[in-house]
Homo-oligomer: A and B are copies of this chain.
């Protein structure tokens, strides 16, 4: 029941968390401290969100001294794209069925 896109929807549903992921996509690799600035929430909260993003495969971390650099893993969005494509596909096939039906009725 719970497939690959489930964790993505659940993880990206939170605005704060999604904003962090967006910043990593826009700005590239960043430290926790840099992300905390203008995040609107405290540093521990940022860390927790980054942990969930990492658990979802949306980001990866790299330790260097005192700093932890996070970066977006864009490939992780694939199941999301697949899901939307699948939904569109169902819709399209039903549309095709209707067209077929109309075409057969036309004869």
Contacts and interface: CB of A to CB of B under 8 A. Distances in A.
A13 B10 contact: yes
Interface in A75-107: 77, 80-81, 84, 87-88, 90-91, 94
This chain's copy number in the assembly: 2
A66 to B, nearest CB: 25
A79 to B, nearest CB: 11
B87 A77 contact: yes
Interface residues of A, number: 25
A34 interface: no
Nearest to A18: B9
Contacts of A2: 15
A1 B14 CA distance: 12
